[in-house]
Chain A
Amino acid sequence: MELQTLWFILVAVLFTGFFFLEGFDFGVGILLPFIGREDQERRALINTIGPFWDGNEVWLVTAGGAMFAAFPHWYATLFSGFYPALLLMLAAIIFRGVAFEFRSKHKHPAWRNFWDWSIFVGSAVPALLWGVALANIIRGVPIDASMNYAGGFLNLLNPYALACGIASLLIFTLHGAVFLTLKTNGEIRERSMRAAKSVWLPAVALSFVFMFYTYVETDLYLHLGINPGIIPVFSVLALLSVKVLLDKNASGWAFAMTGIAIAFSSATIFMGLYPRVLVSSLNPDWSLTIQNASSSPYTLGIMSMVALIFVPLVLLYQGWSYWVFRQRVTTDSHHEY
């Protein structure tokens, strides 16, 4: 396999890992003000993701770094072109990150309320904007011959991208709700279960809207071909099965399925994109591809060696941290945040 393809896959894996992992902690953040009615409950909710969210966020940082190193033009065009959207996303992530640490450090209700809503906004905004960004990447944005973005902000807010944004917001919320049914007990768990069941239908509906709309707006299906393989099909089946599994009270399986739905639909989008990395709506020849956007073979080779050695190590200790904190969190537990 050529190195560009390998690095396209690695960047895709990093973003997919980010959507899978940070996806559930975004979901928990979105549900926080609704499922957690009083302070102790909110603390329990936050503590379900307490040991993990920071490590999850590093998947994004690593994906960004890998993109910069392996495909500098992709990184440069995307982040300068999507400027206002990215600005909003960064502001959201900043608020959210400090909110976890700050909220418990002072007891005043207004203080806690402010940071709790920061967690909500800080989770909902990125959950929505990542969908918007992905949709625009596959739909195509105005990119000129010099690889520069030539559209405004409003160009990004087309109905198709907004539909994808709402779909991703709902799916992350579902993913978070299912995670909570796995990690909590008692009344919070019942509320999480109800939330998961009621978000499921809109999430499925919007996903279908998105899939149909994708056919109209993009060439994704053309790229995937008549037999798209099991990945896209399984992402749909996994999402559909969540309801059945929740009805059977099988939280673990339901979480695996929301995870598969997210991971496989992310993989589908990257498969449909390949070998392009950013589609130009002005002229197909101006699209950024793994060839014209990449670093030199030497750089990709060095990066491959580093990744080969250290990615397994990271997976090992991150896996271990999930094992250490596998217990359910209750309102009586000792809470750090």
Chain B
Amino acid sequence: MDILFLARLQFALTSVFHFFFVPLTLGLSIFTAILETAWVRTGNEKYLKLVQFWGRLFLINFAVGVVTGIVMEFQFGMNWSEYSRFVGDIFGVPLAIEALLAFFMESTFLGIWIFGRDRLPKAVHAASIWLVALGSNLSALWILVANSFMQAPVGFRMAADGSRAEMTDFAALLFNPNVWKQFPHVLAGGIVTGGFLVIAISVWHLMKGTKDREAFITSMKFGTIYAFIGTIFVTMAGHTQMQHIMKTQPMKVAAAEALWETENPASFSLFTIGNEEKLEDVFSIRIPRLLSFLAYNSFEGEVKGIRDLQAEYETKYGTGNYIPSIITAYWSFRLMVGAGTLMLFVSLLGLWKVSRDDYRFSPFIGALFFWSMLLPWIANSTGWILAEMGRQPWIVFGLLKTEQAVTPASVVSSGELILSITLFTLLYLMLAAADLFLIRKYAALGLEAAE
């Protein structure tokens, strides 16, 4: 089988699975730290029990996030050795710094937090979970510094022999506008993921009428505010990011919109079935002028279409196909935005309930709150699929194509790739099952969880 296809499948599988766990780690670490701070400040035992409850769920999730992250680091060398040679001078740096600055801090202080409750003063113990939260989120920042180089390369020159990109300006890499558009979006995505999980589990307990009603009301309040702030933040950050991508990777936006021809003013697609071969609509409902408004905050403005961009890229980079999979980009964008919109409604509804101190839920509203916890997962995964698939055929935009980046077949055969995909799939299915089993068990057990 085709090496390139298999290597991409492997990368998609491991990175999407890894990213099931990361946003929850980001969001729940901050949430646990907030609760522990509340405990230190008030001395109210209720907060301590909540810290232990949410902390346990955090740890179960964290374990899978960490171990799958190690695979990510090594797989660049394993499956993408030509990529590693080409960008090692640049891409490896944020990765190494991530480990040194963030990962060490996160892991060491997590050990201190788990084992240190009886050994350390309360405030030091609370500080250690804040350092875990800081470490996790810094980790995300450095990974996005690395990823942003792939999205919008800056601060480099090509080596004299053209064999690799060399760093010329570390500050430019760090202050790559793409980083500072993408990071708030990912950070807020984590907050939203944590917030909606907290709401779901709290509502479940309140509906079932388990004991610790008062504590889960507190969770619901904290969680709702947390989720609401996160949702507002994630929507705004997403909007800014899209306007930025419009400038740096117009093809990604055009594909996400199935916008075949350049339009001015440009319409927003509500629902399109297109023909990818002929680059035209089969059926489409569009809202006039809305895309221009989203792009430029004005109902006028040109948005380039796929055909024109393809022609433009062919002039610039030579003949070839510069169009990513439109169906993937289009539907992942719609799922992400759709999930985000639903989250906004649900968190507003939660805020309304909380503000009225109303913790009785009809079966429908209860189910709505509960299943809404899946929305951030849908949005997180589809968001990354859009970011990575929408950049194709480039692995580093404008510099290196994905097909040039893969490890040569003479080094890693398709047999080895199939073996590794099978192994990881089985392993990940097992981990997911064990993780889900434990999270359900401890979520349902409530505050007095025994072993």
Which positions in A face B, CB cutoff 8 Å?
A: 47, 50-55, 57-58, 60-62, 64-73, 75-81, 83-84, 86-87, 90-91, 93-95, 97-98, 100-102, 104-107, 147-150, 295-296, 298-299, 302-303, 306-307, 310-311, 314, 317-318, 321, 324-325, 334, 336
Q: Which of B78, B89, B111 contacts A299 (CB 8 A)?
A: B89
Assess whether B81 is in contact with A80, with CB atoms less than 8 Å apart: yes
Assess whether B104 is in contact with A318, with CB atoms less than 8 Å apart: yes
Q: Which of B88, B110, B116 contacts A76 (CB 8 A)?
A: B88
Assess whether A51 is in contact with B112, with CB atoms less than 8 Å apart: yes
B274 within 8 Å of A by Cβ?
no
Residues of B contacting A83 with CB < 8 Å?
A: 78, 411-412, 416, 420
Residues of A contacting B332 with CB < 8 Å?
A: none
A224 to B54, CA, bound (A): 55
Assess whether B114 is in contact with A51, with CB atoms less than 8 Å apart: yes
Given the contacts A80-B77, A81-B411, A91-B423, A324 and B167 also touching, CB distance less than 8 Å: no
A91 to B82, CA, bound (A): 24
> What distance in Å separates the Cβ of B78 from its nearest Cβ neighbour in chain A?
5
B282 within 8 Å of A by Cβ?
no
> What distance in Å separates the Cβ of B156 from its nearest Cβ neighbour in chain A?
10
Q: Which of B100, B115, B441 contacts A307 (CB 8 A)?
A: B100
Most buried by A among B73, B90, B408, B427: B73
Assess whether B92 is in contact with A62, with CB atoms less than 8 Å apart: no
Residues of A contacting B357 with CB < 8 Å?
A: none
A204 to B407, CA, bound (A): 40
A49 to B168, CA, bound (A): 43
Assess whether B112 is in contact with A324, with CB atoms less than 8 Å apart: yes
Assess whether A69 is in contact with B88, with CB atoms less than 8 Å apart: yes
Q: Which of A78, A101, A148, A310 contacts B100 (CB 8 A)?
A: A310
Assess whether B120 is in contact with A57, with CB atoms less than 8 Å apart: no
A102 to B61, CA, bound (A): 10
18 A-B residue pairings within 8 Å (CB atoms): A51-B115, A54-B66, A58-B103, A68-B95, A69-B95, A72-B88, A73-B85, A77-B81, A80-B77, A83-B78, A94-B68, A97-B70, A105-B451, A149-B411, A295-B167, A299-B93, A318-B108, A321-B109
Assess whether B118 is in contact with A334, with CB atoms less than 8 Å apart: yes
A101 to B170, CA, bound (A): 38
Given the contacts A76-B88, A87-B419, A94 and B427 also touching, CB distance less than 8 Å: yes
> What distance in Å separates the Cβ of B175 from its nearest Cβ neighbour in chain A?
14
Assess whether B166 is in contact with A298, with CB atoms less than 8 Å apart: yes
Nearest 5 pairs between A and B by C-beta? A72-B88, A79-B77, A69-B92, A68-B92, A65-B96
Assess whether A55 is in contact with B107, with CB atoms less than 8 Å apart: yes
Residues of A contacting B408 with CB < 8 Å?
A: 148
Assess whether B115 is in contact with A106, with CB atoms less than 8 Å apart: no
A69 to B108, CA, bound (A): 23
B60 within 8 Å of A by Cβ?
yes
Assess whether B68 is in contact with A64, with CB atoms less than 8 Å apart: no
Q: Which residue of A lies closest to B66 (CB)?
A: A97
B400 within 8 Å of A by Cβ?
no
B99 within 8 Å of A by Cβ?
yes
Q: Total interface residues on B, using CB and 8 Å?
A: 74
Residues of A contacting B73 with CB < 8 Å?
A: 61, 64-65, 68
Residues of B contacting A87 with CB < 8 Å?
A: 78, 416, 419-420, 423
Residues of A contacting B105 with CB < 8 Å?
A: 314, 317
A84 to B79, CA, bound (A): 12
Q: Which of B66, B84, B91, B96 contacts A303 (CB 8 A)?
A: B96
Most buried by B among A54, A84, A91: A54
> What distance in Å separates the Cβ of B171 from its nearest Cβ neighbour in chain A?
10
B378 within 8 Å of A by Cβ?
no
Which positions in B face A, CB cutoff 8 Å?
A: 56, 59-60, 62-64, 66-68, 70-71, 73-74, 76-79, 81-82, 84-85, 87-93, 95-101, 103-105, 107-112, 114-116, 118-120, 164, 166-168, 170, 407-408, 410-412, 416, 419-420, 423-424, 427, 431, 434-435, 437-438, 441-442, 451
A107 to B438, CA, bound (A): 11
Q: Which residue of A lies closest to B120 (CB)?
A: A324
Residues of B contacting A150 with CB < 8 Å?
A: 410-411
A128 to B147, CA, bound (A): 34
Assess whether A94 is in contact with B104, with CB atoms less than 8 Å apart: no
A55 to B101, CA, bound (A): 12
> What distance in Å separates the Cβ of B154 from its nearest Cβ neighbour in chain A?
15
Q: Which of A65, A107, A307 contacts B92 (CB 8 A)?
A: A65
Most buried by B among A62, A72, A73, A87: A72
A305 to B355, CA, bound (A): 51
Residues of B contacting A306 with CB < 8 Å?
A: 96-97, 100-101
Residues of A contacting B411 with CB < 8 Å?
A: 80-81, 83, 148-150
Given the contacts A80-B411, A94-B68, A58 and B89 also touching, CB distance less than 8 Å: no
Q: Which residue of B lies closest to A84 (CB)?
A: B416
Q: Which of B77, B81, B89, B431 contacts A98 (CB 8 A)?
A: B431
Assess whether B111 is in contact with A51, with CB atoms less than 8 Å apart: yes
Assess whether A295 is in contact with B70, with CB atoms less than 8 Å apart: no
A221 to B440, CA, bound (A): 58
Q: Which of A55, A64, A68, A78 contacts B104 (CB 8 A)?
A: A55
A95 to B412, CA, bound (A): 24
Assess whether A93 is in contact with B114, with CB atoms less than 8 Å apart: no
Given the contacts A55-B104, A334-B118, A101 and B111 also touching, CB distance less than 8 Å: no
A65 to B72, CA, bound (A): 11
A77 to B116, CA, bound (A): 42
Residues of A contacting B109 with CB < 8 Å?
A: 317, 321
Given the contacts A51-B112, A54-B111, A295 and B88 also touching, CB distance less than 8 Å: yes
A106 to B433, CA, bound (A): 14
Q: Which residue of A lies closest to B426 (CB)?
A: A91
A123 to B407, CA, bound (A): 29
> What distance in Å separates the Cβ of A85 from its nearest Cβ neighbour in chain B?
11
A24 to B306, CA, bound (A): 57
> What distance in Å separates the Cβ of A260 from its nearest Cβ neighbour in chain B?
24
Assess whether B76 is in contact with A68, with CB atoms less than 8 Å apart: yes
Given the contacts A83-B416, A91-B423, A311-B100, A76 and B77 also touching, CB distance less than 8 Å: yes
> What distance in Å separates the Cβ of B410 from its nearest Cβ neighbour in chain A?
7
Given the contacts A76-B77, A302-B170, A317 and B92 also touching, CB distance less than 8 Å: no
Q: Which residue of A lies closest to B116 (CB)?
A: A324
A325 to B59, CA, bound (A): 20
Given pairs A98-B435, A299-B93, 5 additional interface contacts (CB within 8 A): A76-B82, A296-B166, A314-B104, A318-B108, A336-B115
> What distance in Å separates the Cβ of B68 from its nearest Cβ neighbour in chain A?
7
> What distance in Å separates the Cβ of A292 from its nearest Cβ neighbour in chain B?
11
A148 to B60, CA, bound (A): 40
Q: Which residue of B lies closest to A101 (CB)?
A: B63
A52 to B438, CA, bound (A): 23
A91 to B435, CA, bound (A): 17
A52 to B91, CA, bound (A): 29
Residues of A contacting B168 with CB < 8 Å?
A: 298
A94 to B64, CA, bound (A): 8
Assess whether A79 is in contact with B92, with CB atoms less than 8 Å apart: no
> What distance in Å separates the Cβ of B17 from its nearest Cβ neighbour in chain A?
11
Residues of A contacting B92 with CB < 8 Å?
A: 65, 67-70, 72, 75, 295
